[in-house]
Amino acid sequence: MLIELEAITKIYNQGQANEVQALHDVSLQVAKGNMICLRGASGSGKSTLLGIIGCVFPPTRGRAVIAGKQLARLPDRFLTLHRRETIGFIFQRFNILPALTVLDNITLPLLPLGMSPRQRKQRARVLMEQLAIQHREKFPAGQISGGELQRVAIARALINDPPIILADEPTAHLDSRLSREFMTIMDNLKAAGKTIVLASHDPLVTDHPGLDQILDIRDGSLHVS
């Protein structure tokens, strides 16, 4: 299993007046090459679960093993290193820096690796060609369309060639044509061996035939559909 969560609980601001329990006793296993979807309304705990799978923060309780490493045992520095090598994120609002060019946005995760500009460009150009955005290479990201932004976000998630792709509400700001396009790209990534976790309540995603499993998340608890 590439992702193994066992009795995960996440509590924010523990012991304080504003304590919130975001996840209760969640267990989940995802095999390599699978594509699953976490379905739930806003505030149901989807983003928190993605945060734990994405090594952004460790769980309060429970055992989380991502790509063979147990998160609770990793200090913050190594959590970041593990995330850099293992996880590709696609965010709801893409989280692209609008003043940077498309190329610079895609290569951001490579800067701390000490890769030369030539190597970074080479890697990014392969992805830009696959995602048909090579003509936007030198455009500031703030000047391109929503669909293109989505593909920039996908290219940035793939630039480190991570085994796991996490996408949080990836179609929330796309029309149906672009949403379908996005799911086709996900199918291709799955076919290439990537493990994909999508968090969405968009029927175009949740009803997608390529999904291996759909998990409903309500009030921080998982229910298998």
Query: Contact residues for another protein (CB under 8 A)?
Result: 47, 50-51, 54, 56-57, 76-77, 80-81, 83-85, 89, 91-95, 97, 99-100, 104, 108-117, 156, 160, 168-169
Instruction: Report how far apart the first and last C-alpha atoms of the chain are (Å, whole number).
Output: 20
Q: Provide the minimum distance between the beta carbon of 209 and another protein in the complex, in angstroms, as a whole number.
A: 28
* In the chain, beta strands by DSSP E: 3-12, 20-30, 35-39, 61-66, 69-70, 87-90, 164-168, 195-199, 213-218, 221-224
SS3 state at 101:
strand
Least Cβ distance, residue 175 to another protein (angstroms): 19
Q: Burial level of 58, CB count in 10 A (0-12/13-18/19+)?
A: buried
Nearer to another protein, 112 or 191 (CB): 112
Nearest distance in Å: CB 7, another protein: 21
Which lies closer to another protein via its Cβ, residue 54 or residue 62?
A: 54
- Residues 87, 161: Cα–Cα separation, whole Å: 9
Q: Considering the complex, what minimum distance in angstroms separates the CB of residue 81 from another protein?
A: 8
Q: Closer CB to another protein, residue 122 or residue 184?
A: 122
What is the closest distance, in whole angstroms, from the C-beta atom of residue 161 to another protein in the complex? 13
Q: How far is the CB of 114 from another protein (least distance, A)?
A: 3
Both tokens of 100, joined, read 């940077």
Q: Which of residues 172 and 210 has its CB atom nearest to another protein in the complex?
A: 172
Which of residues 159 and 211 has its CB atom nearest to another protein in the complex? Answer: 159
Q: What is the C-alpha to C-alpha distance for residues 198 and 211, in angstroms, rounded to an integer?
A: 9
Nearer to another protein, 31 or 97 (CB): 97
CB 28 within 8 A of CB 181: no
Q: Based on the number of CB atoms within 10 Å of its own CB, is 171 exposed (0-12), middle (13-18) or buried (19 or more)?
A: buried
